[in-house]
Amino acid sequence: MNAHGNAVVTCEGKMIKAKFSGSFNSTGVLKYVNEIKAFVHSLDGASFVILADYIELEGGTPNAYKVFESYSQWLNKQPLIAKATVSQSLIKMQIVSSLSPSQKQQNIQIFEKENEAICWLESELANAK
């Protein structure tokens, strides 16, 4: 099965950034999850934050959300300080949240603009020291 959906994942210091576009199937989400896990592993146990840009995200298949929920459960066991999501659709974020209930254990805020999300994440990083 080909991956559907695209996630560009980068890491700057202790901030992992992911920008999503398109509609995801489980293969696309698994590719994203493996990239995140590689960055988390490279931090050698250091705490970190995640910036997830969902502006161009169209959605996902039911299996994609199952993989995402499994990832969220794994993330809850990592030294994640905070996660900021950037989206201009509150409904889209409510769907993601309802299909991935383990996210409720995470320190998550939703923003409409990336610069506001980055400022909040930097503040959370600074407060965690």
Tens of pLDDT, residue by residue over 6-51, are: 999 999 999 999 999 999 999 999 999 999 999 999 999 999 999 9
Residue range 109-126: mean pLDDT, rounded: 97
Interval 113-126 mean pLDDT: 97
Domain boundaries, the chain: 6-127
**Calpha distance 56→54 (Å, rounded):** 6
Q: Which CATH architecture has domain 6-127?
A: 2-Layer Sandwich (3.30)
Structure tokens that stand for 65 in this block: 């959300």
List Cβ neighbours of 93 (8 Å cut-off, separation of 6 or more): 54, 85, 87, 110
For position 90, what pLDDT does the model report?
A: 81
Q: What is the mean pLDDT of the chain?
A: 93
Strand partners, 84: 51, 109
How does strand 15-24 pair with strand 6-12? Answer: antiparallel
User: What is the CB neighbour count within 10 angstroms for residue 112?
Assistant: 12
